[in-house]
Amino acid sequence: MLKLGAVDGLNPSCFLADLERCKPCSLVKRRHVLIIPPSTNIVNSPRDVLVVDLMGPFPPSIDKFIYALIVQDHFSSLVAFIPLKAKSEAEKCVIEWIKQFERLTSTKIKCMQSDNGREFNSRLMEDFLVSEGIRHERTIPYKNHQNGKVVRMQN
């Protein structure tokens, strides 16, 4: 109102200076407030970060597959698309895929990133990742953009 000239007789310096210094006001007025600091992980080479996600359910295929597991190397964008008949198959498929990938490339995966889906937070998965020395990073629920390329590929 003051900028539009709709108010007469007020000195703007009386209250604008206080608003500029008010930290809670400036935080509330922001469109996106960071809850956690951005990740400091920088992906420098293939096999640094492996991103996994589950898609579905879809209408059953001819072979009765209704889910799809997507595994993607964050650096190289190499993608594996694995059809599944049930969500419960996801953890075993991820474990087998990691073992096969490490055998073929003779290198170790350093980090696996996933959403907070139950299929990636099981005891079997955690035991495997710990035994292989793979760090498991989880994204915040319903913040699909944190899973990056995998989610964009699904669209």
Nearest residue to 117 (alpha-carbon basis) of 97, 92, 90, 96: 90
Number of domains observed in the structure of the chain: 1
Q: For residue 11, what pLDDT is reported? A: 66
Domain that holds residue 112: 49-154
The enclosing domain of 145 has a CATH number of 3.30.420.10
- Give a yes or no: residue 33 inside a domain: no
- Give a yes or no: residue 35 inside a domain: no
What pTM does this model have?
A: 0.65
pLDDT in tens, 96-143: 999 998 898 888 999 998 888 888 888 999 999 999 999 998 887 666
